Amino acid sequence: MPSTSATSLLQGTLDVLILKALALEPMHGLGISRRIAQVTGGTFQVKPGSLFPALHRMEEAGWLSAEWGESDRNRRAKFYRLTKAGRKQLKDETDQWARISAAMASALETP
């Protein structure tokens, strides 16, 4: 898997990945970054230069809410959690991705 794909991360893709990463539990920035790398098998390495603007934008859009808490190693960190609007957004985007990937798959499988 070429690592250059990480740079071509589309904005919409990043949003849905962040939403997905937060679907289970609240997380801080580094946690989100690590989780995304983990679930995409290292395809997407989210740098803080993309991560923080995205987090703040999504917070202002009302999809995330943020509060200060303690990390595993007793560090003060800002934790993000999905809001109700964020869950709805995740569902919408998941459906959309499913449609697109199904369409792409059938297009590419056609001999």
Helix, strand, coil tally for the chain in percent (to 5):
60, 15, 25
Distance of closest approach, residue 49 Cβ to other proteins, in angstroms: 5
Distance of closest approach, residue 23 Cβ to other proteins, in angstroms: 21
DSSP-derived secondary structure letter, 3: G
Give the angle 102-104-105 at the CA atoms, nearest 5°: 65
By CB under 8 A, name the binding residues for other proteins: 28-30, 47-49, 52-53, 56-57, 60, 62, 71, 73, 75-78
State which residue, 34 or 93, has the beta carbon closest to other proteins: 34
Distance of closest approach, residue 51 Cβ to other proteins, in angstroms: 9
d(CA 49, CA 79): 18
State which residue, 43 or 71, has the beta carbon closest to other proteins: 71
